[in-house]
């Protein structure tokens, strides 16, 4: 067998249900994320919880003791390979299972999913958030036992602690005995006569709790973080479920994220783009400067290395991509218009009727063709 559940809980194979529950509570408190936030403790917490789920369930424990698997599977033999044993046939026809034993009241709590909103800068570098959630927690009065302190459950008089009752039934095979869940104790084998008044016999109550969560650098919108054991407390002392924290990243007024890169658009005046300049921009790492080369056109992308988002998987950071948008003035006074007209003349550009006719190569080519035809006509 891959794991020894008795060894995980630190009990011998003849341990009673109360001894198993006591051992689980002790180890769960030691390994709970509240007291031990390490990854190793989180894995051990899962192993301890699974071991308790098996050994606290009479049927699973019996199967585990007999076969090494809580579902009763064996490697090979008539009981494996998709075919059940002879007892499975009776269970299919008549329900129940002879000798399965009483069920455990303890049930694992439900998992929960909540969302938390963070800024883009917090997603880039990571942060800590205080989370508030209304959930089911272990009842302090009864410590999850579901009974008033100092009291104990009484053995069911109907099934005498078996959790099941037998009754005759007529079938095609004749009169046979079949087993079914005891209606008095509902299969638990005992009855709680004095349930806890604070939790109404549930072993848990609803409260609003808060705790701090470390959000790693590089998370993205929609990332889910699993917090083991932070979900709802189980019924009657059962293990807690898990809490899943879904990250929602708010939009930033300047930067957008694509993969691990951050993107922004910066508008550059036409004259600055033509002459070249230096631009300063506020980033999450402080003010950064970059050079705009003379003659820069709209759409040119400047890359600032290692100023993007942290990589959630792996090390390092992405880049910052700045797209330049060259702005052409739309309103000119007389002096500005005159200066631009002089510039056009210096660049051998004619401006007529709102259109530009260049005196460059194509104009000279056109003039040459016109002259050639005029010579032919003469």
- Gap between the Cα atoms of 151 and 142, Å rounded: 10
- Gap between the Cα atoms of 225 and 213, Å rounded: 10
Side-chain-side CA neighbours of residue 208 (13 Å): 3
What the block records as the tokens of 240 is 């807690």
Exposure string of 117-137, with b = 16+ CB inside 10 Å and e = fewer, is ebebebbbeebeeeeebebbb
* Residue 322 near residue 264 (C-beta atoms within 8 A): yes
Residue 159 is labelled as binding a ligand:
yes
* Residue 220 near residue 259 (C-beta atoms within 8 A): no
Beta bridge partners of 131: 211
Residue 160 is labelled as binding a ligand:
no
Residue 364 is labelled as binding a ligand:
no
Residue 199 is labelled as binding a ligand:
yes
Residue 182 is labelled as binding a ligand:
yes
Q: Where are the alpha helices (DSSP H) in the chain?
A: 5-9, 17-31, 39-55, 58-67, 86-94, 120-125, 270-275, 334-346, 361-377
Write phi, then psi, for 108 (nearest 5 degrees).
-65, 140
* Residue 215 near residue 131 (C-beta atoms within 8 A): no
Query: Which residue shows structure tokens 């929609």?
Result: 222
Residue 81 is labelled as binding a ligand:
no
Residue 315 is labelled as binding a ligand:
no
Residue 265 is labelled as binding a ligand:
no
DSSP 8-state assignment for residue 195 = B
- Gap between the Cα atoms of 372 and 95, Å rounded: 106
- Gap between the Cα atoms of 163 and 185, Å rounded: 7
Beta bridge partners of 172: none
- Gap between the Cα atoms of 322 and 44, Å rounded: 47
Annotated binding site, which residues?
139, 142, 156, 159, 182, 185, 196, 199
What residue numbers does the annotated binding site for Zn(2+) cover? 139, 142, 156, 159, 182, 185, 196, 199
């Amino acid at each position: 067998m891959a794991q020894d559940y008795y060894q995980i809980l630190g009990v011998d194979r003849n341990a009673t249900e109360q001894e198993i529950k006591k051992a689980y509570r002790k180890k769960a408190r030691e390994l709970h994320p509240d007291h031990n936030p390490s990854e190793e403790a989180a894995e051990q917490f899962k192993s301890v919880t699974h071991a308790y789920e098996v050994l606290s369930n009479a049927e699973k424990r019996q199967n585990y003791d007999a076969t090494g698997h809580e579902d009763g599977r064996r490697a090979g033999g008539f009981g494996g390979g998709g075919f059940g044993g002879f007892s499975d046939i009776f269970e299919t026809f008549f329900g129940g299972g002879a000798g399965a034993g009483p069920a455990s009241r303890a049930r694992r709590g439900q998992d929960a999913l909540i969302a938390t909103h963070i800024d883009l800068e917090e997603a880039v570098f990571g942060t800590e958030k205080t989370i508030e959630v209304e959930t089911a927690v272990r009842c302090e009065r009864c410590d999850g036992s579901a009974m008033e302190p100092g009291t104990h459950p009484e053995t069911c008089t109907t099934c005498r602690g078996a959790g099941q009752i037998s009754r005759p039934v007529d079938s095609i095979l004749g009169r046979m005995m079949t087993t079914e869940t005891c209606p008095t104790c509902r299969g638990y084998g005992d009855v709680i006569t004095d349930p806890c008044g604070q939790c109404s016999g549930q072993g848990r109550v609803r409260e609003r709790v808060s705790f701090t969560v470390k959000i790693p650098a590089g998370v993205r919108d929609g990332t889910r973080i699993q917090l083991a054991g932070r979900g709802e407390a189980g019924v009657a002392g059962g293990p807690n479920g898990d809490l899943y924290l879904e990250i929602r990243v708010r939009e930033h007024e300047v930067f957008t994220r694509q993969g691990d890169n951050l993107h922004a658009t910066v508008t550059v005046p036409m004259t600055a783009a033509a002459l070249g300049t230096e631009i300063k921009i506020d980033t999450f790492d402080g003010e950064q400067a970059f050079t705009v080369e003379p003659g820069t056109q709209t759409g040119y992308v400047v890359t600032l290395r290692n100023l993007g988002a942290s990589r959630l998987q792996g090390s390092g950071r992405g880049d910052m991509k700045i797209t330049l948008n060259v702005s052409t003035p739309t309103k000119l006074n007389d002096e500005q218009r005159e200066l631009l007209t002089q510039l056009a003349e210096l660049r051998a550009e004619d401006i007529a009727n709102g259109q530009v006719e260049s005196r460059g190569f194509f104009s000279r080519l056109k003039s040459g063709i016109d002259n050639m035809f005029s010579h032919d006509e003469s």
